Amino acid sequence: MSDTTSNQMWGGRFAAGPDAIMEAINASIGFDKRLAAQDIAGSRAHAAMLAATGIVKASDAEAMREGLLTVLSEIEAGEFEFSAALEDIHMNVEARLKTLIGDAAGRLHTGRSRNDQVATDFRLWVRDQLDAGEEQLLALLRALLVQAEAGADWVMPGFTHLQTAQPVTWGHHMMAYVEMFGRDLSRLRDARARMNESPLGAAALAGTGFPIDREMTAEALGFDRPMANSLDAVSDRDFALEFLSVASISAMHLSRFAEELVIWSSAQFRFVTLSDRFSTGSSIMPQKKNPDAAELIRAKIGRIFGANVALMTVMKGLPLAYSKDMQEDKEQVFDAADNWLLSLAAMTGMVGDMSANRASLEAAASSGFSTATDLADWLVREAGLPFRDAHHVTGTLVALAEKKGCDLPDLSLSDMQGVHESITEGVFDVLGVHNSVASRTSYGGTAPAQVRAQIARWKERLG
């Protein structure tokens, strides 16, 4: 479409069309065409309201609504020709509508502005991504619960500083991620509830003198209510920032888990085997099976974090109400949403397909003096030592085991009594890794009974 046509849509304010550079920097159709479905949904709701309130004739409103469906079908079929000269998705849709239904299309914009229109479109789009994220998180949580239930009593080393600390169960480790992603789900739902208010009808910034019904359009679009302040309605992007915050925290959790899967699937650990569907080979080393999906998830967090920082930076210095800076609110959000949802799907696939190596987990749990804390606790409980003294005795026994090249359960009773005479045969009841995990019965502990109780709680919660 020519610049002349574009200027006609603007009215008589500008005598000449923008040059190529201005057109390039001003146009957003290259990315905001992703808002087409939301834009058309908002316009159809607005048209119905205009008729219901008597602002436009019912016949005109019906022509608009039907014409908008035609435009949507053309876009979905890939038959729509987008024009950079028309700047954005809103003007592209309206121009096409005019060719379809004539002058009635010009009445569609009554009582609204592109400012509240784009705020509505973007809010609807972000809400859709939150809904998709909820589905993906629920799928991941259920996959983790399957893993946790299968290995509720499989022992493995628990780590601090990536050093063997105390024995835990595979189920307990999986349930730690259930809790983490469960918080992501809670944050997501909270953000969705807060953002579910309609900007439509706020117009440019001050509302409108037309007798519009904002409650009607809010309800038609699935919002809980209209936004209460027209200035805030057109200038708010908190909903996008909250989405990016939710996605960033969730992506951080995905990255932590991905890091563990990279480590666990290595030849040095052999804790898990990832399926071929989520691994690749090497071009020159035939023995390699690379955890590429996990590594890519670990990397994608940079894009999601970056989007969060970028939008915060765009918004931080803007006076009320709308500024063109806010056109830069979408590309980062689009990219972050794509990569977060893809990462969730990939992690769900990996968790569903991966196999835990029970023998390797148990062998690792039984090494590295993982039951040292159990020994110290036994000395406090059975021998009556103050914990600091018990800690010192246990440290001496660890040093002795290191010198002998064995683990704590392999020391003889006489070896132990040589360090402290109060140690009895009963100490061996706590030194085995299975005994260790079974003893951790405090709420939230790693005892298999506790793990199964938490699995049952989450199954009931998820339904």
Instruction: For the chain, 463 residues long, give each residue's pLDDT as a single digit of tens.
Output: 444 444 555 555 555 555 677 777 877 888 889 999 999 999 999 999 999 999 999 999 999 999 999 999 999 999 999 998 888 999 999 999 999 999 999 999 999 999 999 999 999 999 999 999 999 999 999 999 999 999 999 999 999 898 887 899 999 999 999 999 999 999 999 999 999 999 999 999 999 999 999 999 999 999 999 999 999 999 999 999 999 999 999 999 999 999 999 999 998 999 999 988 877 655 445 455 788 899 999 999 999 999 999 999 999 999 998 898 888 899 999 999 999 999 999 999 999 999 999 999 999 988 767 778 888 888 898 888 998 999 999 899 889 988 988 888 888 888 888 888 888 888 888 888 898 899 889 999 999 999 999 999 999 999 8
Last residue of a domain, one of 363, 390, 422: 363
Q: Are 278 and 393 members of one domain?
A: no
Catalytic residues: 161, 282
Q: Are 194 and 296 members of one domain?
A: yes
Asked if residue 413 lies in contact with residue 420, where contact means CB atoms within 8 angstroms, the answer is no
Last residue of a domain, one of 51, 79, 107: 107
Q: Are 286 and 413 members of one domain?
A: no
What pLDDT sits at residue 327? 87
Single-letter code of the amino acid located at 348: T
Q: Are 259 and 338 members of one domain?
A: yes
Q: Are 381 and 352 members of one domain?
A: no
What pLDDT sits at residue 288? 52
Q: Are 359 and 440 members of one domain?
A: no
- What letter would DSSP give residue 324? G
Single-letter code of the amino acid located at 230: S
Last residue of a domain, one of 306, 328, 363: 363
Q: Are 306 and 451 members of one domain?
A: no
Pairing of strands 355-356, 272-273: antiparallel
Whether residue 397 lies inside any domain: the answer is yes
Residues 6+ apart with CB under 8 A from 265: 271, 272, 273, 274, 279, 289, 291, 294
What pLDDT sits at residue 368? 66
Residue numbers of the domain that contains 341: 118-211+223-363
The CATH number that applies at residue 44 is 1.10.275.10
Residues 6+ apart with CB under 8 A from 439: 374, 430, 447
Whether residue 8 lies inside any domain: the answer is no
Whether residue 59 lies inside any domain: the answer is yes
* Distance separating alpha carbons of residues 462 and 19, to the nearest angstrom: 56
What pLDDT sits at residue 8? 52
- What letter would DSSP give residue 440? -
Q: Are 307 and 376 members of one domain?
A: no
Q: Are 319 and 396 members of one domain?
A: no
Q: How many domains does the chain have?
A: 3
Q: Are 301 and 412 members of one domain?
A: no
Q: Are 352 and 402 members of one domain?
A: no
Q: Are 154 and 273 members of one domain?
A: yes
Nearest to 129 by CA among 344, 427, 396, 388: 344
The CATH number that applies at residue 349 is 1.20.200.10
Whether residue 3 lies inside any domain: the answer is no
What pLDDT sits at residue 18? 57
3-state secondary structure of 164: strand
Other C-beta atoms lying within 10 Å of the C-beta of residue 355: 11
